[in-house]
Amino acid sequence: MPKIKEKKTLKKKTKDKSFGHPGKLDKTKAEPFGHSTELNKATKKTTVKKKTKLVEQEDVAINVTLEESMHPDVAIDDSKSKKEVLDALFAGERILIEKSDASNDLYNQSRFGIWLEDDKLQLSLLEALYLLERGRVRILDGRKKEIALEKFLKKAKKLEPTFWIRYIVFKDMRNRGYIVKTALKFGADFRVYDRGVKPGDDHARWVVYPAHEGSTLTWYDFAAKNRVAHSTKKRLLMAVVDDENDVTYYEIRWMRP
């Protein structure tokens, strides 16, 4: 059993959950989504507080820093008077947008999607829901019929069982001004770039693993995630989502004693 030494005491703790993190600070919340009951549970906040603890296991010490909220810095301008609503085709598991000045701006300014060889901008399901919620895209089916937000969410959750937990984290980090892209080739859910940094300009700073607080994580899994981050020269960020869709972030780095 690893020894845990707390260097600071949080001002407020809640009952420990099965995921194993030691209570929480004031909860970070994202902005409300809109009409859906499930969507209305999301997160928003502003304060920054930290807790550091040292976890020692065998000959390796793991430094864990809990960061509860960072100042929000919205990644995109949502002024509807300036932004064109783009039609996005829901094709299987892909969301496709035709090439135009508006889609170029969407990619160049905020790095949403990837360009395909046929000059279509492909969005992930997470990116599509985020932009749909903000009124930046209109999702269409194969018959060019518009798909409502709640219906699209239902389809996305059917395609990806962990979609909702991943989306809560994706939205929270995007709202804070970070560019979030997939990290499947690294064996993680997301790679996240520092504010002001775009893919291609520099490397991502973190690999991120979203998880519900009720899930379990073995030491073997925990060590494997650390090895992935270490081998890719990135920091490991665990994003823990509770039952109220609040997100707590743990930044974890290897240390040699």
Give 15-62 pLDDT, tens digit per residue.
444 334 433 333 333 333 333 434 444 434 333 333 333 333 333 344
Judgement on whether residues 49 and 99 belong to the same structural domain of the protein? no
- 3-state secondary structure at position 190: strand
CA distance 177 to 256: 32
Cβ-contact 203, 187 below 8 angstroms: no
Judgement on whether residues 91 and 121 belong to the same structural domain of the protein? yes
Judgement on whether residues 113 and 171 belong to the same structural domain of the protein? no
The per-residue pLDDT for 196 is 87
Report which of 202, 81, 68, 70 is spatially closest to residue 135, judged by C-alpha positions: 81
Judgement on whether residues 55 and 168 belong to the same structural domain of the protein? yes
In this predicted structure, the answer to whether residue 68 has a pLDDT above a threshold of 70 is no
Report which of 34, 40, 36, 41 is spatially closest to residue 151, judged by C-alpha positions: 36
CATH for 211: 3.40.1350.10
State mean pLDDT over 51-80. 41
H or E segment at 63?
Answer: strand 60-67
Query: Total structural domains in the chain?
Result: 2
Judgement on whether residues 129 and 246 belong to the same structural domain of the protein? no
The per-residue pLDDT for 186 is 78
Judgement on whether residues 182 and 233 belong to the same structural domain of the protein? yes
pLDDT band at residue 168 under the 50/70/90 scheme: very high
State mean pLDDT over 225-240. 90
What is the average pLDDT score of the chain? Answer: 75
What residues pair up with 3 in beta bridges, in sequence order?
56
Residue 61 backbone zone (phi > 0: left; psi -120 to 50: alpha; other: beta)? beta
- Convert the pLDDT of each residue in 95-154 to its tens digit: 999 999 999 999 998 899 999 999 999 999 999 999 999 999 999 998 999 999 999 999
Does residue 231 lie within any of the structural domains? Answer: yes
Judgement on whether residues 57 and 106 belong to the same structural domain of the protein? no
Boundary residue ending a domain (106, 133, 159): 159
Residue tagged active-site, from 130, 193, 209, 249: 193
Residue tagged active-site, from 51, 171, 234, 249: 234
The two three-digit tokens of residue 53, written as one number: 């603890």
Judgement on whether residues 8 and 107 belong to the same structural domain of the protein? no
98 class by beta-carbon count within 10 Å (0-12 exposed, 13-18 middle, 19+ buried) = middle
Does residue 81 lie within any of the structural domains? Answer: no
The total of other beta-carbon atoms located within 10 Å of residue 185's CB is 8
The total of other beta-carbon atoms located within 10 Å of residue 102's CB is 15
Known active-site residue 193: yes
CATH for 132: 3.40.1170.20
Between 14 and 113, the more confident residue is 113
Query: Mean pLDDT: which of 86-95, 127-136, 190-199, 228-237 is highest?
Result: 127-136
Boundary residue ending a domain (117, 133, 159): 159
Does residue 203 lie within any of the structural domains? Answer: yes
Tell me which residue range forms the domain holding 99.
86-159
| Total-model pTM | 0.70
State mean pLDDT over 214-233. 88
The per-residue pLDDT for 47 is 34
Known active-site residue 71: no
Residue tagged active-site, from 11, 198, 203, 230: 203
Boundary residue ending a domain (127, 159, 191): 159
CA distance 81 to 222: 46
Known active-site residue 151: no
Does residue 79 lie within any of the structural domains? Answer: no
